[in-house]
Structure 1
Amino acid sequence: METPENLTVGSWDDPFVVEEAYDGIERRVLCFDDETMQVHYTVDEGAVFPEHEHEETRQTVYVVSGAVELFGDHETVLEAGDTFIVGPGVRHGVRGVAEETELLDTFTPRIEEYAQK
């Protein structure tokens, strides 16, 4: 069956790319189109995704399991079931505070460097 024009399908077992984003942080790019990207992160306890900001991208994050410390322009601890949205120009980073944390991120527009193999 052919995939409809406005449908993008990703697979956990066959993601676009799996890479170590930072020490103790795995990035799994699940799917994307010209406008939106979905990425899964696994964050080990003590691992840090350094503080940064996006020029144009809005990032929505869902904490699937575990817990992370959000730092930058706002500081808080987020646990399984919590969400946050980071708009363009907002400084943010995360630190794993549970043995292992899973995050599901959606980026709009997509992060171009993550779309490169």
Structure 2
Amino acid sequence: MALNPKELRFVKANGIPWETVGDGLRRKVFTYDANLMMTMVAFEMGAVGSMHQHPHTQVSYVESGVFEITIGEEVKVLHKGDAYYIPPNILHGAVCREPGVLVDVFTPMREDFIE
């Protein structure tokens, strides 16, 4: 039986399995409740987080790697230690320039990430 990360108070990264979510993309849902969700997304070099939008507010932290991030009409290259903010309903996406990991936080939680 898969681990249900809902309302986990302490999360061990190695205790949560990776889920393949696209070509060169894997995700872990760390913990969440109705108001907040934290995830981790691993990108292989060249992997693309397709342009999309959603009603959630999002902040993301570049845990490792190099990413070209597009938010609306603006494009920036971000490195390990950088972060970005995405308001609700703004078109955004990512292209991985060097393999790495993004830590994403959403409010409210992403119901579409939970099976």
Instruction: State the TM-score, normalizing by the size of structure 1.
Output: 0.85
Q: Are 2:42 and 2:101, in contact at CA under 8 Å, matched by a contact in 1?
A: yes
SS in structure 2 of the partner of residue 9 of structure 1:
coil
**Counterpart of 2:12?**
11
**Counterpart of 1:82?**
82
**Rg comparison, structure with higher value:** 1
Mapping of residues 64-79 of structure 1, within 5 Å: 64-73=63-72, 74-79=74-79
Unmatched 5+ residue regions in structure 1?
A: 1-5
**Measured at CA, do residues 7 and 101 of structure 1 come closer, stay the same or move farther in structure 2, by a change above 3 Å?**
closer
**Kindly, what percent of the aligned residue pairs are identical?**
30
Task: Report deviation, 1:7.
Answer: 6.7
**Counterpart of 1:104?**
103
Task: Report deviation, 1:14.
Answer: 2.1
Unmatched 5+ residue regions in structure 2?
A: 1-6
1:17-49 deviations in whole A, cap 9, x for unaligned? 521111001111111112111101111110001
Q: Which runs of 4+ in 1 moved over 2 A?
A: 6-11
RMSD (CA atoms): 1.6
Mapping of residues 31-46 of structure 1, within 5 Å: 31-46=31-46
The AA in structure 2 aligned to 1:78 is: L
The AA in structure 1 aligned to 2:107 is: T
The AA in structure 1 aligned to 2:32 is: F
Matched residue count: 108
The AA in structure 2 aligned to 1:115 is: I
Instruction: State the TM-score, normalizing by the size of structure 2.
Output: 0.86
